[in-house]
Amino acid sequence: MESLLVLALSIRNFRNLAQADFRPSPRFNVFSGDNGQGKTNVLEALYAVLSSKSFRTSKVADLMPHTEPGGVAEVVSVRAKVREGDMTREQRFAVDQGTRSVRIDDKRPRSLLAYATASPVVVFHPGELSLSTGPSAERRKLLDRVALFVAPTGISELEAYTRAQRSRQKTLEARGIDATDVDHWETLVIQHGLALMEARAAAAERIVSRALVAFESIFTTPLGCEISYVPGAPREAEAFRAELRKNRALDLRRGTARIGPHRDDLALSLKGAAARTSASQGQHRALVLALKAAEIAVIGEARGARPVLLLDDVSSELDRARTEALFSFLRATEGQVFLTTTRPELIATEGAERADFQLRQGVISPLS
Ligand X SMILES: Nc1ncnc2c1ncn2[C@@H]1O[C@H](COP(=O)(O)OP(=O)(O)OP(=O)(O)O)[C@@H](O)[C@H]1O
Nearest to 232 by CA among 212, 258, 199: 258
Query: Applying CB under 5 A, which part among 35-43, 67-75, 137-145, 284-292 lies near Mg ion?
Result: 35-43
Residue 127 binds to ligand X (criterion: CB under 6 A): no
Residue 39 binds to ligand X (criterion: CB under 6 A): yes
Residue window 113-152: x/- pattern of binding to Mg ion, with contact defined by CB under 5 A = ----------------------------------------
* CA distance linking residue 107 with residue 241, whole number of Å: 43
Residue number with CB closer to ligand X (59 or 170): 59
Task: Identify the residue among 3, 40, 52, 54 touching ligand X (CB under 6 A).
Answer: 40
Within residues 47-106, the interface with ligand X by CB under 6 A covers 64-66
Helix (H) or strand (E) holding 160: helix 158-175
3-class state of residue 266 by DSSP? strand
Residue 336 binds to Mg ion (criterion: CB under 5 A): no
Please compute Rg for the chain using Cα positions.
22
Count of residues interacting with ligand X (CB under 6 A) = 17
* CA distance linking residue 360 with residue 139, whole number of Å: 34
Residue 13 binds to ligand X (criterion: CB under 6 A): no
Within residues 164-203, the interface with Mg ion by CB under 5 A covers none
Residue 35 binds to ligand X (criterion: CB under 6 A): yes
Region for residue 117 given its phi and psi (left: phi exceeds 0; alpha: psi -120 to 50; beta: otherwise) = alpha
- The number of CA neighbours under 13 Å toward the Cβ of 344 is 17
Task: Identify the residue among 37, 52, 54, 165 touching ligand X (CB under 6 A).
Answer: 37
- 35 binding partner (options ligand X, Mg ion, none; Cβ < 5 to 8 Å by kind): ligand X
Residue 40 binds to Mg ion (criterion: CB under 5 A): yes
Tell me the residue ranges of DSSP E strands in the chain: 2-14, 17-22, 28-32, 76-84, 87-96, 99-104, 121-124, 225-230, 265-270, 273-274, 305-306, 308-312, 337-341, 354-360, 363-367
Point out which residues bind Mg ion (CB under 5 A). Answer: 40
Point out which residues bind ligand X (CB under 6 A). Answer: 15-16, 33, 35-41, 64-66, 313, 340, 342, 359
